[in-house]
Amino acid sequence: MKEIGHWINGKLVKGTSGRMADVFNPATGEVQARVALASKAELDAAVADAARAQVAWGATNPQKRGRVMMEMVRLINRDMDKLAEALSTEHGKTFPDAKGDVQRGLEVIEYSIGAAQMLKGEFTDSAGPGIDMYSMRQPLGVAAGITPFNFPAMIPLWKMGPALSAGNAFILKPSERDPSVPLMLAALFQEAGLPDGVLQVINGDKEAVDAILDNETVQGIGFVGSTPIAHYIYSRGCAAGKRVQCFGGAKNHMIIMPDADLDQAADALVGAGYGAAGERCMAISVAVPVGEKTADELVKRLIPRIEKLKVGPWTGGNDVDYGPVVTAAAKANILRLVESGLASGAKLVVDGRGFKLQGYENGFFVGPHLFDHVTADMEIYQKEIFGPVLSVVRAKTYEDALKLAMDHEYGNGTAIFTRDGDTARDFAARINVGMIGINVPIPVPLAYHTFGGWKKSSFGDLNQHGPDAFRFYTRTKTITARWPSGIKEGSAFNFKAMD
């Protein structure tokens, strides 16, 4: 059976801890590989090597670092299908969805080409008599990223691109559930010209995470995952004096106003709620129609669309709408929450519990579910399900709908569908959520803007990609300089004195 190790000092190496974890094919339920789980000693050795490599890399001018990113863009485009296939095989995403995962990461690498512009400091001439003042942005040194299973290409690239182009060495601890794509990306970075040791990919579990948190050389940590783990990493990392940004769970609402185009809204909800089997932190999991008539008409349009969804393996072609969830445990948790919704009194108008796929009976497939008449006190409303389950919560008024989203503990993304500009402007101004969509169901900003939620969806002051990424991965140093006037006559700069 295939064994997956680590990427250390520019090459693949086997793990030495003796601990391994299974990597499943989610479509079949079979173990397809085993991945090494690093010990603290392995992690610390990789960090030490990275720190040594960072000295020369940090001293490399940002234009040259940007050229590595430029070549990385070419290589990712060259290997797009190969990366997407590996991603689909381990994660279960459809092939088009896997390519989208790689593409959104690629866009941050494209943005990172412009590191020289992002790293410029400020200058004030004659801040005082004979005094100039200026600032410079310098890399942290060694930074680390701890990334989730649901975007094994995109989120590692979101972390690696800005961190590396800013002059840091980087330690990536990807999810042990789908580890192959991050290792492939590391090999591409080396091919693009990144020096050995500047990027280390260490597979592991909590032992590796704690080793990153405890290692004094690691100066900054970026994390994406569940809120409890985000809070743990943020608290412990900050207590150790590190710079930390952590992004947690979500429960994203979409408000549908009575004046909305309901066919457009229904299409948007199906794509945003069930795409990638709902395993997205920006998935819409709560639809909030305003008014009973709006709710009845929306549900009427949703049911046939959801019932037509095709669930299957990524090898099923482009007509497969979504694939399996990542593990048997994830499937079991989703179905448990469905039962909780029924027990709480919600109406299950599309029931996917009995879904079976011929030839893939042991795969981790979950049929699509649609709940109506969900209320805010139900577990299926309060918790992030992370599966193909959409809940309809009926609101009497716009203010009631707004309050639902504002009162929820998560604040990652939200959307409103309306034809009224005044309502949309009011919504965008008042809602306490980090990313807003107006007639856009999944409001993920492009690479040159910043990505991040509010409330328990985010811990830390700076967000992912965009200008915030370069602020996070660098420190500002401010210099005040005074050069007293010297004796110019007779100096070495006087041509007469040089005759």
Reduce the secondary structure of the chain to three states and give it as a string. Answer: CEEECEEECCEEECCCCCCEEEEEECCCCEEEEEEECCCHHHHHHHHHHHHHHHHHHHHCCHHHHHHHHHHHHHHHHHCHHHHHHHHHHHHCCCHHHHHHHHHHHHHHHHHHCCHHHHCCCCEEEEEECCEEEEEEEEECCEEEEECCCCCCCHHHHHHHHHHHHCCCEEEEECCCCCCHHHHHHHHHHHHHCCCCCCEEECCCCHHHHHHHHHCCCEEEEEEECCHHHHHHHHHHHHHCCCEEEEECCCCEEEEECCCCCHHHHHHHHHHHHHHHHHCCCCCEEEEEEECHHHHHHHHHHHHHHHHCCCECCHHHCCCCCECCCCCHHHHHHHHHHHHHHHHHCCEEEECCCCCCCCCCCCCCCCCCEEEECCCCCCHHHHCCCCCCEEEECCECCHHHHHHHHHHCCEECEEEEECCCHHHHHHHHHHCCCCEEEECCCCCCCCCCCCECCEECCEECCCCECCHHHHHHCEEEEEEEEECCCCCCCCCCCCCCCCC
Q: Does residue 395 lie within any of the structural domains? A: yes
State residue 103's pLDDT score: 97
Q: Which residues pair with 476 in a beta bridge?
A: 137
Contact 338, 377 (CB under 8 A): no
Q: In this structure, are 49 and 132 located in the same domain?
A: yes
Beta-carbon count within 10 A of 134 CB: 15
Q: Does residue 489 lie within any of the structural domains? A: no
Q: In this structure, are 27 and 12 located in the same domain?
A: yes
State residue 488's pLDDT score: 59
Q: In this structure, are 390 and 403 located in the same domain?
A: yes
State residue 130's pLDDT score: 86
What is the phi/psi pair of residue 125, to 5°?
A: -80, 135
Q: Would residue 246 show up in a list of annotated catalytic residues for this protein?
A: no
- State the chain's maximal CA–CA distance in angstroms: 99
For residue 261, with 0-12 CB atoms within 10 Å meaning exposed, 13-18 middle and 19 or more buried, which class applies? middle
Q: In this structure, are 468 and 417 located in the same domain?
A: no
Q: In this structure, are 167 and 30 located in the same domain?
A: yes
- Structure token digits, residue 253: 């609402």
Q: In this structure, are 189 and 292 located in the same domain?
A: no
CA-wise closest residue to 234 among 457, 47, 444, 38: 457
Q: Does residue 487 lie within any of the structural domains? A: no
State residue 492's pLDDT score: 54
Distance between CA atoms of 401 and 418, rounded to whole angstroms?
A: 13
Contact 221, 233 (CB under 8 A): yes
Q: Which of 43, 108, 281, 350 is catalytic?
A: 281
State residue 486's pLDDT score: 66
CA-wise closest residue to 482 among 137, 128, 136: 128
- Structure token digits, residue 139: 């890399």
Distance between CA atoms of 223 and 169, rounded to whole angstroms?
A: 16
User: What are the average pLDDT values for consecutive 10-residue runs of the chain, which has 499 residues?
Assistant: 96 97 97 98 98 98 97 98 98 96 97 94 90 95 98 98 98 98 98 98 98 98 96 97 96 98 98 96 96 98 98 92 97 98 98 94 97 98 97 98 97 97 97 96 92 94 92 96 72 47
Q: In this structure, are 186 and 140 located in the same domain?
A: yes
The number of C-alpha atoms within 13 Å of 19 and in the hemisphere containing its C-beta is: 13
State residue 402's pLDDT score: 98
Handedness of CA 308, 311, 316, 318 (dihedral sign): positive
Domain harbouring 234, CATH code: 3.40.605.10
**Residues 6+ positions from 287 with CB-CB distance below 8 Å:** 253, 254, 256, 269, 273, 298, 302, 390, 391, 392, 393
Domain harbouring 403, CATH code: 3.40.309.10
Domains held by the chain: number: 2
Q: Does residue 357 lie within any of the structural domains? A: yes
Q: Does residue 56 lie within any of the structural domains? A: yes
Q: Does residue 443 lie within any of the structural domains? A: no
State residue 483's pLDDT score: 84
State residue 169's pLDDT score: 98
Q: Does residue 449 lie within any of the structural domains? A: no
Q: In this structure, are 171 and 309 located in the same domain?
A: no
Contact 487, 466 (CB under 8 A): no
State residue 499's pLDDT score: 41
Q: In this structure, are 229 and 295 located in the same domain?
A: no
Distance between CA atoms of 481 and 58, rounded to whole angstroms?
A: 24
Q: In this structure, are 224 and 82 located in the same domain?
A: yes
Query: pTM for this structure?
Result: 0.93
Q: Does residue 296 lie within any of the structural domains? A: yes
Q: In this structure, are 213 and 236 located in the same domain?
A: yes
Distance between CA atoms of 215 and 311, rounded to whole angstroms?
A: 44
Q: In this structure, are 299 and 388 located in the same domain?
A: yes
Distance between CA atoms of 115 and 255, rounded to whole angstroms?
A: 38
Give residue 188's domain range.
2-248+457-480
